[in-house]
Structure formats: structure tokens, C-alpha cells
């Protein structure tokens, strides 16, 4: 994660140079009515240090700001270490209530602005507000000891630390803080979806289905089922994201563009656009809807990612780029710290930019009220399927995960591979990498502790 002073204010981050009561109250309210966020005192809009903010002044401003909101917006005080010393921050969580200012305004967060909601938006957001109760709900019959994956929790804690949000309390305190368990230590829906050993046992709808069709329609020329591959994706949501991405990546056609003396590999669809569409589907689907899972359909000319549930809150197709509202704030927060989400609220912009910059039509979005679909079109005359070695058909899931990691990060070490494959013996992982080297997929660089692998 970038150092705080190198980051820009946005959907869930605000800088206030002074502990002025009204701006503080407005920002707290806007965060509580949207997806939550962090307010940092003592920085201007560009992250430059202003006059020192004393704790007693910040505390007085906080209590006065709370008094301007109805019902009062709660926040958590936290010290934020920086290169220049410690700053004061207020963490505001998304609230199940809809808060108003003392003067009657109802604010939400849009980018870096705290703006009033319109009358229609207030009606829409009020109707969707109770969804948070479902995410917080207790999973009947489940326990942390029997149903949560300890290795997965440890992986999450490591990811948090990598993003500069390490936790100093106990594991159970962390799970409660992020909404994965109740105060009594019982698993919540959000906790089961993020950390469950087998969340589909409780929520069959939380998996996904990948289908590759050989033609532009879901039928063959003879009228029968026209798919060439169909995979059932199961597991906790972080693994669903990984498996869907790996599956789509392995099925994408690839080619090359030569500019001067440089040869650049080009995929059928831009990598960021595909990842963002998958992550959005997992983050924002309506998990109350039973009987339908996320579907990823790959046709000869397009890729469709279909998510059960329409757009949440006051989101519409018209404001999809500018606005941000989370149906599942705890799931979104969890996947953010897992590293799947880079900057909240900016993904749709980058998806559109990347598609257009690489010569594709912009993504097409469709909302029926019950289903939300993202459609990515392939370029006409785009890259053809590269000839792959026969052995890749029998490549195990761990090796596919390793290759995907190298494509995204440039290289992989033994330690990084072990983190990707928790619970697998070091000898098995060593043989996996040796096999990838022997078959010409990876190239080994360095020796002993300096060993790492890159694409050959």
C-alpha cells in the first residue's frame, strides 16, 4: 500500500487540515451513509502537513461533530504513523442507519466530495439499507472452530500487514472488528463467505460457474449444447476470485504485437478489465438470492460476467462511473485487504480506459433489476489461440496459480509460492517448480535464498 501522504483522497479517504467541526461532521456522515472510510487530520488535500493537531482539540471537535448528526455517527480514534510523526485519524464504518445532518441534509460520498442525496436516491438507498442485516446475520449451526479455515485467516492477516494495516490484537478480536463474527463469537454471513472451509454447505449460491462456448451463441450449429468447457467454482470468496481468474486467463486467446524491435504479448481481453469485472461480481452480487450463482460465459466474440441482483442503493447505469455504493461492505473490505481491490471506486473508470486504449469497444453494462451483466467484446481480427504444449492440459491447480502469479507480478519465489499454497509440503512445491522449469514454462534465476522464477 502507498504511504499515506502519497495517496490521494477518494471514496474512503479524506484529509482535513484542521479539526473544523462542520467539515468533520459532513465527512463522517457521508462515510457512514456509504461504505465507510478514514478521516486524517493535519493534512491538506494534496497530503501536505499543515499545523499540528493536538489530541485534545481533535477530541473536542469529534464530540461536537457527532452532535451535528442524527443519529450520531460513531467513529474509532486511531493514531496514524507517518515519516513526519503520528497523525490523528477517525475510522468511520458504514452504518445500517441513514444519518442526517442537524439541518436535515443527507450526505453521501462521491469521489472526494460529500454531496447531498436527491429525494429519489434517498428512497432507493433506504430500501436497500437493510441488506447489511443479512451480511451481519448469524449462520445457524456454524462455529468458528469447525467451519472457519485457520490458514485462510492467517493469509488474510498477512495480506493486511502487507497493505500497512497490521493487527495487534487477538485473532478473534480482528474477526469481530471486521464483522466476520458476532460479539458472542458466532460466524456471520460475511465471515463464512470470506473464511469458511466450505461456505457452499450453508450458501450454495455463493460459488460460480464458468462456461466456454465454441460459437457466438450458447448452442452448437446442430442445436445441441455448444460449450467446450464447463467448470464449477467453489470455496470461500478469495478462492472463487482466484479460480475464476485463472480459468478465464487459461482460456483467453493470445497473440503478439511487434513495434520496432519489441514483441509484446496481447491477450484477447485486457487483463485488468477481466479481473475488475470478476471482482465486482463477487463483491457486489446479492447473496440473498438463492438458486443462481455468478456466471462467466466466454463466447467466440465476447465475455459476459453475470451477477445475481441488480445495482444496489442509488446506483444506476448513468452514474456507474462517478458513484460508488457497496451492497456488501464487509465483503468488499475483506477483499480490499486481500489485495484484489487497488483503490475503491476507481475500477470501472480503469476498465473502460483499458478497453478503449487497446482498441476494444467500451464495456457494455446491463441491469435488469435482478441481474447485472458486464459484457466485454473481443476485437475483430484479434489474437488467435496460441498453440500450447500438451502438458498444460494436465497442469495442476497449484502450478496454474504459480503461472498466474508470475504473469501479474513478474516473478515468484519459493516463499511466495508457499504462501499461495498453504498446507502443501515444501517438497511438493519444489517439485512443482522444477517441473515448470523442465517443461519450459519458467526460468530459474539465482540460487539459495536469492532464487526466483520468471516466465521463459
pLDDT in tens, 172-189: 999 998 999 999 999 999
Same domain for 176 and 324? no
pTM of structure: 0.66
Same domain for 209 and 316? yes
Q: Which domain covers residue 403, as residue numbers?
A: 390-455
Note whether 312 and 284 are within 8 A (CB).
yes
Q: What are phi and psi of 375, to 5 degrees?
A: -120, 120
Residue 130 lies in a domain: no
As given in the structure block, the three cell numbers for residue 141 are: 449451526
- Would strands 442-445 and 371-377 be described as parallel, antiparallel, or unpaired? unpaired
Residue 23 lies in a domain: yes
Does residue 440 carry a pLDDT above 50? yes
Structurally, how many domains does the chain consist of? 4
Q: Tell which wins on pLDDT, 364 or 267.
A: 364
CA dist., res. 244 & res. 303, Å (int): 13
Please report, for the domain that includes residue 263, its CATH number: 3.30.565.60
Note whether 377 and 360 are within 8 A (CB).
yes
- Confidence at 343, pLDDT banded by 50, 70, 90: low
Alpha helices in 228-305 (DSSP H): 237-251, 271-284
For residue 386, the model assigns a pLDDT of 42
Last residue of a domain, one of 158, 185, 203: 203
Burial of 3 (0-12, 13-18, 19+ CB in 10 A): exposed
pLDDT in tens, 72-89: 998 988 888 777 678 999
Query: What percentage of the chain exceeds 70 in pLDDT?
Result: 87
Query: What percentage of the chain exceeds 90 in pLDDT?
Result: 42
As given in the structure block, the three cell numbers for residue 452 are: 526466483
pLDDT in tens, 285-317: 999 988 899 999 999 999 999 999 888 877 888
- DSSP 8-state class, residue 384: P
Same domain for 193 and 229? no
Last residue of a domain, one of 171, 203, 235: 203
Residue 304 lies in a domain: yes
- Confidence at 267, pLDDT banded by 50, 70, 90: confident
Amino acid at each position: 500500500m502507498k504511504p499515506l501522504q502519497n495517496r490521494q483522497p477518494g471514496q474512503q479517504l479524506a484529509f482535513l487540515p484542521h479539526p473544523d467541526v462542520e467539515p468533520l461532521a459532513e465527512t463522517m456522515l457521508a462515510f457512514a451513509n456509504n461504505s465507510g472510510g478514514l478521516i486524517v487530520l493535519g493534512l491538506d488535500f494534496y497530503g501536505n502537513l499543515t499545523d499540528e493537531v493536538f489530541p485534545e482539540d481533535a477530541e473536542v471537535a469529534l464530540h461536537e461533530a457527532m452532535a451535528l448528526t442524527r443519529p450520531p455517527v460513531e467513529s474509532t480514534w486511531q493514531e496514524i504513523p507517518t515519516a513526519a510523526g503520528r497523525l490523528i485519524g477517525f475510522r468511520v464504518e458504514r452504518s445500517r442507519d441513514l444519518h442526517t445532518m442537524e439541518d436535515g441534509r443527507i450526505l453521501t460520498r462521491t469521489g472526494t466530495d460529500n454531496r447531498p442525496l436527491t429525494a429519489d436516491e434517498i428512497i432507493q438507498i433506504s430500501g436497500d439499507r437493510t441488506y447489511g442485516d443479512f451480511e451481519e446475520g448469524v449462520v445457524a449451526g456454524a462455529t468458528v472452530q469447525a467451519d472457519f479455515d485457520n490458514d485462510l485467516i492467517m493469509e488474510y492477516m498477512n495480506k493486511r500487514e502487507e497493505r500497512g494495516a497490521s493487527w495487534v490484537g487477538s485473532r478473534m478480536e480482528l474477526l469481530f472488528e471486521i464483522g466476520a463474527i458476532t460479539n458472542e463469537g458466532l460466524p456471520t454471513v460475511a465471515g463464512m463467505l470470506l473464511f469458511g472451509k466450505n461456505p457452499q454447505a450453508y450458501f450454495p449460491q455463493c460459488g460460480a460457474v464458468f462456461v466456454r462456448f465454441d460459437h457466438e451463441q450458447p448452442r452448437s450449429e446442430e442445436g445441441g449444447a455448444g460449450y467446450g468447457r464447463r467448470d464449477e467454482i467453489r470455496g470461500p470468496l478469495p478462492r472463487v476470485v482466484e479460480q475464476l481468474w485463472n480459468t478465464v486467463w487459461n482460456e483467453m486467446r493470445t497473440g503478439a504485437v511487434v513495434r520496432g524491435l519489441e514483441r509484446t504479448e496481447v491477450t484477447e481481453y485486457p487483463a485488468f478489465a477481466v479481473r475488475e469485472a470478476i471482482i465486482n461480481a463477487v463483491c457486489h452480487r446479492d447473496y440473498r438470492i438463492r438458486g443462481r450463482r455468478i456466471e462467466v460465459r466466454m463466447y467466440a466474440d465476447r465475455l459476459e460476467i453475470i451477477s445475481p441482483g441488480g445495482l444496489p442503493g442509488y446506483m444506476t447505469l448513468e452514474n456507474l462511473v462517478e458513484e460508488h455504493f457497496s451492497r456488501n461492505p464487509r465483503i468488499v473490505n475483506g477483499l480490499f485487504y486481500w489485495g484484489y481491490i487497488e483503490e475503491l471506486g476507481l475500477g470501472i473508470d480503469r476498465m473502460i480506459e483499458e478497453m478503449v486504449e487497446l482498441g476494444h469497444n467500451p464495456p457494455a453494462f446491463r441491469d435488469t433489476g435482478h441481474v447485472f451483466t458486464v459484457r466485454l467484446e473481443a476485437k475483430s481480427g484479434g489474437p488467435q489461440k496460441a498453440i500450447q504444449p500438451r502438458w498444460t492440459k494436465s497442469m495442476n491447480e497449484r502450478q496454474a496459480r504459480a503461472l498466474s502469479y508470475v504473469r501479474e507480478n513478474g516473478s515468484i519465489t519459493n516463499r511466495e509460492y508457499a504462501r499461495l499454497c498453504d498446507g502443501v509440503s515444501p517438497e511438493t512445491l519444489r517439485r512443482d517448480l522444477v517441473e515448470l522449469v523442465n517443461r519450459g514454462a519458467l526460468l530459474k534465476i539465482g540460487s539459495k535464498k536469492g532464487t526466483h522464477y520468471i516466465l521463459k
